[in-house]
Amino acid sequence: MAEQSGEFVTQATPSPVRPPWRARLANRFGVYANVPRMFRQIWRCSPALTLGGITLRLVQAVQPSLALYVGKLIVDEVIHLGSQSTPPASLLAWSLHGPASRLEGWIALEFMLIILSDLTARATTLVDGLLNERYINDVSLSLMGHAATLDLQQFESSELQDLLERARRQASGRNNLLVQLFNIAEIGLTALTLAAGVMAFAPWMVLLLVLALLPATAGEAHFNAEGYRLLRARTAERREMDYLRHIGSTAEHAKELRLFGLGGFLVGRFRAAAATVMAQNRRLALRRFVWSGVFGAIGSVAYYAVYIVIVWDTVRGRFSVGDLTFLSGSFLRLHTILSRLLMAITQTASQAQYLDDFFAFLDLRPAIAPAATTIPFPSPIRQGIRFEKVGFRYPGTDRWALRNLDLTIGAGETVALVGENGAGKTTIVKLLTRLYEPDEGQITVDGISLSDMDPADLHAHIGVIFQDFVRYSLTAAENIAVGRIEALSDTARIRAAAREGLADGVVGRLPLGYDQPLGKQLARGRELSGGEWQKIAISRAYMRDADLLILDEPTSALDARAEADVFERLRALRQGRAALVISHRFSTVRTADRIVVLEHGRVLETGSHAQLVANGGRYAELFALQAAGYR
Ligand SMILES: Nc1ncnc2c1ncn2[C@@H]1O[C@H](COP(=O)(O)OP(=O)(O)OP(=O)(O)O)[C@@H](O)[C@H]1O
pLDDT digits (tens, 9 = 90+) for 341-384: 877 777 777 677 777 778 888 888 877 776 778 889 888 888 89
Whether the pLDDT of residue 74 is over 80: the answer is yes
Atom of ligand 1 lying closest to residue 601 CA = 14
Distance from the alpha carbon of residue 394 to the mean position of ligand 1, in angstroms: 9
Same domain for 396 and 419, yes or no, is yes
Q: Tell which one of 3, 429, 550, 588 to mutate to probe ligand 1, the residue whose CB is within 8 A of the most ligand atoms.
A: 3
Task: Give the range among 68-77, 127-136, 491-500, 560-569 with minimum mean pLDDT.
Answer: 560-569
Same domain for 616 and 480, yes or no, is no
Same domain for 427 and 568, yes or no, is yes
Same domain for 355 and 268, yes or no, is yes
Q: Tell which one of 390, 394, 584, 598 to mutate to probe ligand 1, the residue whose CB is within 8 A of the most ligand atoms.
A: 394
Same domain for 139 and 212, yes or no, is yes
Task: Give the range among 43-57, 144-158, 582-596 with minimum mean pLDDT.
Answer: 144-158
Distance from the alpha carbon of residue 510 to the mean position of ligand 1, in angstroms: 36
Nearest CA to ligand 1 atom 1: 4
Mean of the pLDDT values across residues 491-500? 92
Residue 56 lies in domain: 31-363
Same domain for 445 and 557, yes or no, is yes
Same domain for 431 and 520, yes or no, is no
Distance from the alpha carbon of residue 2 to the mean position of ligand 1, in angstroms: 3
| DSSP 8-state code for residue 151 | -
Number of independent structural domains in the chain: 3
Distance from the alpha carbon of residue 286 to the mean position of ligand 1, in angstroms: 48
Classify residue 629: in a domain, yes or no. yes
Measured between alpha carbons, how far is 195 from 145 in angstroms, rounded to an integer? 47
Q: Tell which one of 156, 161, 425, 430 to mutate to probe ligand 1, the residue whose CB is within 8 A of the most ligand atoms.
A: 425
- ipTM beyond 0.85? yes
Contacts 24+ apart (CB under 8 A), 138-145: 138/41, 138/44, 138/45, 139/41, 139/170, 139/171, 139/175, 139/358, 140/171, 142/362, 143/167, 143/168, 143/171, 143/358, 143/361, 143/362
**More confident site: 478 or 369:** 478
Same domain for 140 and 226, yes or no, is yes
Distance from the alpha carbon of residue 189 to the mean position of ligand 1, in angstroms: 61
Same domain for 531 and 449, yes or no, is no
CATH number at residue 557: 3.40.50.300
Classify residue 7: in a domain, yes or no. no
Task: Give the range among 130-134, 185-189, 496-500, 537-541 with minimum mean pLDDT.
Answer: 185-189
**The last residue of a domain, from among 545, 565, 593:** 545
Beta-bridged to residue 416, according to DSSP, are: 581, 595
Distance from the alpha carbon of residue 525 to the mean position of ligand 1, in angstroms: 33
Same domain for 135 and 39, yes or no, is yes
Measured between alpha carbons, how far is 413 from 378 in angstroms, rounded to an integer? 16
CATH number at residue 182: 1.20.1560.10
Using omega within 30 degrees of 0 as the cis cutoff, is the peptide bond preceding 20 cis?
A: no
Distance from the alpha carbon of residue 601 to the mean position of ligand 1, in angstroms: 10
Same domain for 338 and 447, yes or no, is no
Classify residue 20: in a domain, yes or no. no
Classify residue 12: in a domain, yes or no. no
What does the pLDDT read at residue 242? Answer: 85
Q: Are 315 and 224 in contact (CB under 8 A)?
A: no
Query: For the chain, what is the mean pLDDT?
Result: 81
Nearest CA to ligand 1 atom 11: 2
Nearest CA to ligand 1 atom 28: 422
Classify residue 337: in a domain, yes or no. yes
Whether the pLDDT of residue 525 is over 70: the answer is yes
pLDDT digits (tens, 9 = 90+) for 438-467: 999 999 999 999 988 988 888 888 888 887
Distance from the alpha carbon of residue 386 to the mean position of ligand 1, in angstroms: 21
Beta-bridged to residue 448, according to DSSP, are: 445
**The last residue of a domain, from among 363, 385, 410:** 363
Q: Tell which one of 427, 428, 552, 622 to mutate to probe ligand 1, the residue whose CB is within 8 A of the most ligand atoms.
A: 427
**The last residue of a domain, from among 307, 329, 363:** 363
Same domain for 251 and 321, yes or no, is yes
Classify residue 10: in a domain, yes or no. no
